[in-house]
């Protein structure tokens, strides 16, 4: 089985994403890694339970929700971290640090879902394996008809698995894109560099959501904002790949 048309051009863009990614790991993060280490290293009981107790007692304490979210991230509890950050952002909807941290979580989830889809697609691609060959021991034992029936059932199951994995991947990409739209909206218009970084990340997220229109528009805007950027050559290549994959391309 070949990769879906949308997945094939996303794969091309992911090559360029490695060059983009370093820009965002620390953007607006406020030293998140160090803070997490400090919070998890707190003495006097379980820091997560302590933070959960704090937000129950003070549900409108934005910093308490932010601390809880960071603790969840440190524990690998992505779903809980997302919920905590969303609560924090209801209290501070334009907080760039919170939006950046939330974006980083969805980036990680989207990458995980892409990897799961890729593994499933490769499994399906190799599903025929030795089946059906003249030296296939299964065919020799069961006969051609039985072997074909088994292979059909097996590939049908794998096809469903691949389709489901791709759907989950795109859903994650759409969530990531949504957060980056909020991040861009909250970024000051006067801060050209910050907006350039925001639109570049939006373009990458949109690519994972198979939103070609937004990807193309974002990359074009990035090149208008910072045409002399060191990343400009990679962005132009990514833009060309997106335009080629576009129905109008």
Homologous superfamily of 5-245: Tetratricopeptide repeat domain (1.25.40.10)
CB 117 within 8 A of CB 7: yes
Q: What is the pLDDT of residues 90-132, one digit of tens each?
A: 999 999 999 999 999 999 999 999 999 989 888 887 765 544 4
Per-residue tokens: 204: 């990458």
Provide block-wise average pLDDT over 10 residues at a time, the chain (249 residues).
53 52 46 51 72 96 96 96 98 97 95 91 72 46 53 79 92 96 97 95 91 95 95 91 79
d(CA 157, CA 149): 12
Q: Give pLDDT, residue 244.
A: 87
Q: What is the DSSP letter of 187?
A: S
CB 124 within 8 A of CB 155: yes
Q: Give pLDDT, residue 145.
A: 54
Q: What is the DSSP letter of 226?
A: -
pTM reported for the whole predicted model: 0.78
**How far, CA to CA in Å, does 102 sit from each of 13, 81, 105, 149, 225?**
22, 8, 5, 47, 25
C-alpha 6 chain-centroid distance = 15
Q: Give pLDDT, residue 29.
A: 46
d(CA 131, CA 174): 38
Domain boundaries, the chain: 5-245
Q: Give pLDDT, residue 153.
A: 74
d(CA 161, CA 173): 18
CB 2 within 8 A of CB 234: no
Q: What is the pLDDT of residues 225-239, one digit of tens each?
A: 999 999 999 899 889
């Amino acid at each position: 089985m070949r990769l879906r048309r949308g997945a094939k051009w996303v794969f091309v863009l992911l090559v360029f994403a490695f060059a983009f990614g370093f820009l965002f790991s620390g953007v607006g993060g406020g030293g998140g890694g160090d803070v997490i280490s400090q919070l998890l290293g707190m003495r006097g009981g379980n820091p997560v339970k302590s933070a959960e107790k704090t937000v129950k007692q003070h549900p409108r304490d934005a910093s308490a929700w932010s601390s809880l979210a960071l603790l969840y991230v440190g524990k690998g509890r992505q779903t809980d971290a997302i919920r905590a950050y969303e609560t924090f952002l209801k209290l501070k909807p334009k907080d760039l640090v919170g939006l950046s941290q939330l974006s980083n979580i969805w980036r990680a989830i989207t990458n995980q879902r892409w990897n799961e889809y890729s593994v499933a697609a490769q499994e399906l691609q190799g599903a025929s394996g030795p089946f059906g060959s003249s030296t296939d021991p299964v065919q020799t034992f069961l006969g051609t008809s039985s072997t074909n029936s088994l292979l059909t059932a097996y590939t049908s199951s794998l096809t469903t698995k691949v389709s489901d994995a791709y759907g989950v991947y795109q859903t994650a990409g759409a969530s990531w894109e949504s957060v980056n739209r909020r991040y861009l909206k909250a970024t000051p218009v006067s801060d050209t560099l910050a907006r350039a970084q925001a639109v570049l990340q939006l373009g990458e997220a949109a690519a994972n959501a198979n939103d070609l229109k937004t990807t193309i528009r974002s990359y074009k805007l990035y090149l208008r904002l910072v045409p002399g950027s060191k990343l400009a050559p990679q962005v132009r290549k990514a833009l060309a790949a997106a335009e080629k994959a576009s129905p109008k391309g």
